[in-house]
Amino acid sequence: MCGIVGCVGRPDETLDVLMHGLSKLEYRGYDSAGVALANSAVEIEKHEGELVNLERAVDDDAPSGPVGIGHTRWSTHGPPSDRNSHPHADCEGEVAVIHNGIIENFQEVKDELTAAGHEFTSDTDTEVVPHLIESALADGASHEEAFRAAIERVEGSYAIAAVFAGGDAVFCTRQDSPLVLGIDDDATYLASDVPAFREFTDRVVYLEDGEFARIDADGWDVSTA
């Protein structure tokens, strides 16, 4: 089923919050896990196998940043491996994306992006999303505009979240895959299910199909396309 977590508003504890959330979503089943934290760059750490493999890696070289997302993957497109683990990035490493669900038209989109010069490093359907975002950014779109433009191109079921280098927000949306926000006075959380952030807050906002959310240091906002 995969698991998604996100956190904004706890800049000195982002990684700890993400790892805690991933541990609370292990019940959903997974074969790899990863995190992406955004500051002036996007730092990604991801590994095949149990969560302990990721824990060991971040103990040795911890990514840092005030904004972060994390993921536990259950393989659909591509076998379990480090390179197929989430998060996935664009060619320049400026955006990181995590995704639950199936992108049904990924091959068509991937072929188009490949013809335009994008280089893919995984077997997943998910990886088309950061490359679509990259294309929109190159055309002058803002982070939010680029995220929305990418979602307009994909078909299927999904819960998707993204962070950007130099950005201060997590952008997310859902269609036929659960996504819920956790609201606290000074932090906002994102997850596939409430146990990921229950220790921190019991105030929740469930996203509906087709809704977009932006969470940042000032709070949260939910809208439709």
What confidence tens digit (pLDDT) does each residue in 45-57 have? 999 989 999 999 9
Mean pLDDT across 183-193: 95
pLDDT in tens, 3-33: 999 999 999 999 999 999 999 998 877 889 9
Spatial contact of 210 and 225, defined as CB atoms under 8 Å apart: yes
Reported pTM: 0.95
pLDDT at 112 over 80: yes
Closest CA to 220 of 170, 175, 177: 170
The pLDDT, as a whole number, for residue 190 is 97
pLDDT at 79 over 90: no
pLDDT at 60 over 90: no
DSSP state of 84: T
The pLDDT, as a whole number, for residue 83 is 86
* Residue labelled with tokens 């480090």: 82
Mean pLDDT across 72-92: 82
Q: Which residue did the predictor score with more confidence, 76 or 107?
A: 107
CATH value at residue 133: 3.60.20.10
| pLDDT > 70: percent of the chain | 96
The residues near 212 (Cβ < 8 Å, ≥ 6 apart) are 147, 148, 151, 171, 172, 173, 222, 223, 224, 225
Residue 9 φ/ψ, nearest 5 degrees: 110, 0
Mean pLDDT across 189-212: 96
DSSP state of 208: P
User: Could you tell me the two tokens for 92?
Assistant: 């320049």
Spatial contact of 89 and 163, defined as CB atoms under 8 Å apart: no
Domain that holds residue 67: 3-224
The residues near 134 (Cβ < 8 Å, ≥ 6 apart) are 90, 91, 92, 94, 95, 118, 146
The pLDDT, as a whole number, for residue 168 is 94
pLDDT in tens, 157-184: 999 999 999 999 999 999 999 999 999 9
Of the chain, the end-to-end C-alpha distance in Å amounts to 26
Closest CA to 5 of 159, 157, 130, 209: 159
3-state secondary structure of 100: strand
pLDDT at 137 over 80: yes
Domain count along the chain: 1
User: Could you tell me the two tokens for 161?
Assistant: 């979240």
Q: Which residue did the predictor score with more confidence, 188 or 224?
A: 188
The per-residue pLDDT of the chain, averaged, comes to: 93
pLDDT at 74 over 80: no
Helix residue ranges per DSSP H, the chain: 14-24, 51-60, 106-115, 128-138, 143-153
